[in-house]
Amino acid sequence: MAPWTKATKTSRRRKAKAKGKGQARKGSQRFECLGVYDVFQIVQSKGITAGLQLVCLAIEQNRVRKRSLAAFIADKGNKAVNKAIELAK
């Protein structure tokens, strides 16, 4: 087997794509990481008062492939969500 040079990597990607086995990652598929301040702005603009409302909004956005809010809730947890809602009050 040939060593992993740049040419062999692109060749293997091209062959896999032709077979339909692999997809190259596009930059548009990545989502931006939200911070507590960003979520605070969302909470304030939407008038959210409870964590459940924020989770429902994240589910709605996830359906249209906006995953940054859902990723924030999953990664940061309940403490950061409550802090964002508390700051908006």
Amino acid at position 36, single letter = V
pLDDT in tens, 13-69: 777 777 765 555 555 566 678 899 999 999 999 999 999 999 999 999 999 999 999
Determine the residue type at 44. Q
pLDDT at 89: 84
**pLDDT given at position 15:** 74
Between 60 and 2, where is the model more confident? Answer: 60
- Give, in order, the Cα–Cα distances in Å from 10 to each of 5, 14, 54: 9, 6, 42
Question: What is the distance, to the nearest Å, from the Cα of residue 40 to the centroid of all Cα atoms in its chain?
Answer: 17
Q: What is the pLDDT of residues 51-65, one digit of tens each?
A: 999 999 999 999 999
CA-CA distance, 72 to 31, in Å (whole number)? 11
Backbone angles phi, psi at 11, to 5 degrees: -65, -45
| Domain regions of the chain by residue span | 31-89
Residue 28: both structure tokens together: 């548009």
SS3 of the chain: helix, strand, coil, percent, to 5 = 70, 0, 30
